[in-house]
Structure formats: structure tokens, C-alpha cells
Amino acid sequence: MKILLRIAHLSIVVLAPLAFAGCVAQTAGEDRKTSARAGGCDASAPDEQEPFKANVRSMLEREQFGALDDLADELNRTEERFAGGDWKSYRLQQALSAPAGGCDDTDARWKELLAVLTRWHEQRPASMPAAIAIAEASIGYGWEARGTGFADTVTPEGWRLLDQRMAPAEGVLMKAASATPKTVEWYRAMIHLGRVQAWDRSRVDALVEQAVTLDPQYLHVYSEMARYLMPRWNGAEGDWENFAERSAERLGGREGSVVYSHIAWQISKYHRGHEFFDENRVSWPRIKQGFVDREALYGTSRRNLNAFCKLAADAADRQTTRELLARIGEEWDPGVWRERKYFDDYRTWAGK
């Protein structure tokens, strides 16, 4: 299976029905768009952060490059987060690195995006956010050419375009790092590229160590490294779980608890419902406590609340699921459930 999923060190998430608690649902695994995200492009559904991301995209369309650099500098300096604890610097880079239509946008829109990012980089060569955006857009554009099918369905032209389009990413990032202080977003982007290009473990470990030294609370370096360590990518069975445990223990306290649950949540997106708990060495009590600690520290968000609820159901914790459904009411999140019918399936199970 690992050989099938990883030709040229790339993988694809398998979609299949979720059999769970006597009902059949397909949600909560991965669909075509999240398969694309597994490679190099984020296709998450709109959420409370969408106005912020839409504003960033608008600034880019108007080529307000200086203002974008200033905003990125401010967010890196202040480490400002959204309600729920997500980092604004991460969402800024996410908004810059893919067309508004996401992974499935047209080839023309990808070219337009890369063209404006290139103008930004040429006009302001010391811009770190421009370099990161070019690198990550190159990965996403390459993945768009490859497609989201199994490796043995990818055409020779798909592989060629993937390699060709990703080729500039490392050089752009390394050149930026030689001229501008490295940020946690730079480290995350490097680890992302290392995952897709299957860099040596020691090199990626060193990047993680440097990033954690720079900011031990930055969540997205942890989740990016956990993805690198999944067996479908560059790790072995148990690697990402060991990393999650060590990271939580190293940070300690509530922040360590948050890191553990954040990693688990992100990795759960590659699994179908309860299979996440069946196939991985994870602790539901620790994940649950992490969501509780995250809300205590940073407040809540619709996405966090819905994700917490779904994981509770996948862990067969009916009581916690009921409590969270009562809080959610009708504020279900398509970014978690994909479709309303799947949310309703879980709610039916919880009510039994």
C-alpha cells in the first residue's frame, strides 16, 4: 500500500464510506479537494476567518505590496491570533498562496497569481511573505497539474509538470533567508516543501528544532511536521504519534495540551471517522482536554467547536458529542462536515 500511495514521494488520500455507530456517512473523511490539500494546496471551506483572507487577496490584486509586507511584519511581531487560537500570519500566507477558487481553480488563475507574486518579489526582493507565497503557490500549481488521483493514474506529463512547477520553490525560500530574518512561516513552508519532495529526515528535524526555538507555541510547524512523519509520506508507523507526544511534553502545560490536540485534529483529516482512532496510537482524553484548554486560552470558533464535536463522535464519546451539538445548534461548519446530511447523521447517532 505504501508503494502504491507514494510514487515519487507523493501520496493521495483514499475516499471511502465511513461506517460508524450503525449509520453510513462519507463525511468526515477526505474528498477530492482535501486530497489536493494533502499534496500542496489548501482547499478549506470558508469560515470566520474568510473576511480577513478576502482582504489579503484584495490587497494582492491591487498590488499593495508594501502594505502586505507591513501586515506580515506586524503579525509576525505581535503573534496575533484569531478567536480559537489560529495564527493570523498563517492565514495570511494561505490567502496569498492559492487563487480564490482554491486547488481546483483554473490554470489561467494560477498563472495570474504567480505573475502578481513574481512582480511583488521583483519589486521588493527582501520580502519574506512574497517568497513564501511564491514557493507555496509553486507547490500548489504543481499539484494542480499532477491531479488528485492515485499515483498510478498520473500521466508522465503530470509528473513532468509537477517537478517543473515546484522547481523554483527551494531556491526562492533559501534566497529570501539569506537576505531577511527567518520567520516561523518560512520554517513551516520549508517543512511543507520537504514533505512533498521527501527531504532527508535529519534536514527536516533541524528545521523543526530551529522553528520551535524561535517560537515554541506556533501550531502550524507542529502539524506540518506531523504530516511529514505520516507513513504515506516520509515516516514509519508511530512516528507522528511519538512526535505529538514529545512536542506536548516539551512545551508542557495548557500550551502543550493544545499542541497535542491540534496535531491530532490535523492528522484526523486523512482518515475516515472512527478509523483515525482505530489506526493510530492517540488518546481521546488528551485530545479532548486540548480542545478544552484551547478554548480557555483563546476563546472558541465555529470551526473548532465543530471539529471537537466530530472527533468526540468518532471516538464514540456520545455524551461529549451531545453537549457540543447543543452548543453548535444550527451553526454546522461545511469545512468540517462537508455536507449538511453528514452533520445530521452524526446528530442522529448522538441522540440515540
pTM: 0.87
pLDDT interval class at 5 (50, 70, 90): very low
Q: How far apart are CA 141 and CA 109, in angstroms?
A: 10
Would you say residue 18 has pLDDT above 90? Answer: no
Q: What is the pLDDT of residue 6?
A: 38
Q: Where are the beta strands (DSSP E) in the chain?
A: 18-20, 23-25
Total tally of structural domains belonging to the chain: 1
Q: What is the pLDDT of residue 243?
A: 98
- What was the pLDDT predicted at 25? 36
- Biggest CA-to-CA distance, the chain: 61
Using pLDDT thresholds of 50, 70 and 90, give the confidence band for residue 16. very low
Q: Please say if the pLDDT value at position 120 is more than 60.
A: yes
Question: Which amino acid belongs to residue 225?
Answer: M
Contacts of 290 (CB under 8 A, 6+ apart): 257, 258, 259, 260, 261, 262, 264
Helices 340-350 and 318-328 pack at an angle, to 10 degrees, of: 130
Rounded distance between C-alpha atoms, residue 152 and residue 50, angstroms: 36
Residue 101's pLDDT band, with cuts at 50, 70 and 90, is confident
pLDDT, average across residues 74-93: 97
| Confidence bin at 40 (pLDDT 50/70/90) | low
Output the pLDDT for position 29.
Answer: 35
The CB density around residue 2, as the number of other CB atoms within 10 Å, is 10
Which triple of cell numbers denotes residue 28?
468526515
**Per-residue pLDDT band at 171 (split at 50, 70, 90):** very high
What does DSSP assign to residue 98?
S
Q: What is the pLDDT of residues 319-330, one digit of tens each?
A: 999 999 999 999
pLDDT class of 264 with cuts at 50, 70, 90? very high
Share of the chain above pLDDT 90, in %: 75
Residue 89 has pLDDT above 70, yes or no: yes
**Could you read off the pLDDT of 199-254 as tens digits, one per residue?**
999 999 999 999 999 999 999 999 999 999 999 999 999 999 999 999 999 999 99
Query: Which domain, by its residues, includes 273?
Result: 2-350
41-45, 82-86, 339-343: range with lowest mean pLDDT: 41-45
Q: What pLDDT is recorded for position 38?
A: 52
Q: Provide the pLDDT for residue 35.
A: 40
Q: What's the pLDDT at 100?
A: 85
Among 86-100, 140-154, 293-307, 322-336, the minimum mean pLDDT is found in 140-154
* 58, three cell numbers: 484584495
List of long-range contacts for 340-345, beta carbons under 8 Å, 24+ apart: 341/25, 342/25, 342/26, 342/27, 342/28, 343/27, 345/23, 345/24, 345/25, 345/27
Task: Answer whether residue 46 shows pLDDT above 70.
Answer: no
162 contacts 193 by C-beta, under 8 angstroms: no
Which residues neighbour 219 within 8 Å (Cβ) at sequence distance 6 or greater?
Answer: 85, 86, 87, 90, 258, 259, 262
From the CA atom positions of the chain, what is the Rg in Å?
19
By residue count, the chain amounts to: 352
Sign of CA dihedral 213, 194, 103, 71: positive
